[in-house]
Amino acid sequence: MMQFLTTHPGQPLTLAPLGSQPEQVHVFDQDSIYAINAALAARRPLLVLGEPGTGKSQLALAAASALRRAFVQKVVTARTEAQDLVWHFDAVSRLAEAQLAGALKSEENHTQVRERLAVENFLTPGPLWWALNWGCAKTQAEKAKSPPPHQPPGCDPANGCVVLIDEIDKAEPELPNGLLEVLGNGEFTPTGWDKPVKSADTPPLIIITSNEERALPAAFQRRCLALRLTLPTQRDALIAHLIARGQAHFPNASADMLARAAAQLADDRQAAAGDIARPKPGQAEYLDLVRAIITLAPDAPEEQVRLIEQIAPFVMKTHRGEG
């Protein structure tokens, strides 16, 4: 039976550190809960739109933690191709193995050489393979001597999988178009295979983020549900929103420091509003600023306030390169 999000809006959810990232806290809003549950029920990918720093990427990890599902992610670049999200065939290593066997005049017979150079030994599952069928991906990864994706505590593939395809707008239009068949049919046929890999019993939750730096193909967008994450546009509402997030992440932080740091970010966002060359700082920059201040002056509230002006130019992206 499929499980849905039952988290209450505004309730902080502590996320275990992933890789080198520090411990994070995520606060679901009502729209995010509705959108995730709708995507689960409709069995459609959720396209999360918005400017950088609004928590788009963290939403996927938070969903995996709340649903206790396995978590797999792929950050898209300009060189990423659609196939990279499904599988990777290491043709270079296979060729090197073949050349080495020939140069050493291996004592293996032809059958043994063919077995060692079998395509499946050089085929690594990508994030969508893990998401659609974890058991099949694990079996294939073992053949390719590739480790499974590292999982945060409590995230179990037996409950299903959440896959994050991050910043898809960085790729060429061919990438989202190339995913239409996989996303639509829930199956694919890896290179060298005679039968397709099909989705397991529990459909994955696929979350795709975009900073909207490039328009996505209409056919791709129609395959997705959409959620837009935004920060409040009014100054007072923005400051209140940031303070609430700061209190959720750093419950022991000085209220005065959180408020002044939020006011600093609001000022920087306003200053950047008229200059398209200067990216607006967002919630992520605010939390980075607060974390740096608390780390540098953990038990000195007055020093924390003084540090805001000193540290802000190095944390707020809008200040980079300014005199």
Of residues 154 and 41, which shows the higher confidence score?
Answer: 41
1 within a domain of the structure (yes/no) = no
Of residues 5 and 107, which shows the higher confidence score?
Answer: 5
pLDDT for res 320: 43
pLDDT for res 271: 84
Residue 160, token pair as written in the block: 């299903």
pLDDT for res 280: 85
* Residues 182/194, Cβ–Cβ less than 8 Å: no
CB atoms within 10 A of CB 208: 26
Round to whole Å and give the CA distance between 250 and 25: 9
Q: How many residues does the chain have?
A: 323
**Bridging pattern class, strands 187-188 and 197-198:** antiparallel
Same domain, 160 and 292: no
pLDDT for res 109: 63
Residue 31, token pair as written in the block: 């729209």
Summarize the confidence of residues 26-34 as an average pLDDT.
96
pLDDT for res 319: 44
Residues 288-307 pLDDT 10s:
999 999 999 998 888 999 99
Residue 169, token pair as written in the block: 């707008």
pLDDT for res 117: 78
Summarize the confidence of residues 176-201 as an average pLDDT.
90
pLDDT above 50 (res 201): yes
Same domain, 136 and 242: no
Of residues 239 and 121, which shows the higher confidence score?
Answer: 239
Same domain, 164 and 313: no
301 within a domain of the structure (yes/no) = yes
pLDDT for res 139: 95
pLDDT above 60 (res 107): no
- Find the DSSP H helices in the chain: 30-42, 56-67, 91-103, 110-116, 127-132, 134-143, 174-178, 180-185, 218-222, 235-249, 255-272, 283-296, 301-315
Residues 140-182 pLDDT 10s:
999 999 999 999 888 999 999 999 999 999 999 899 999 998 9
Same domain, 67 and 144: yes
Is the pTM higher than 0.75? The answer reads yes
Decide which of 197, 228, 259 is a domain's last residue.
228
Decide which of 173, 197, 228 is a domain's last residue.
228
Parent domain of 254: 235-319
pLDDT for res 97: 74
pLDDT for res 103: 58
Residue 149 DSSP label = P
Same domain, 178 and 43: yes
Same domain, 42 and 127: yes
How many domains would you assign to the chain?
A: 2
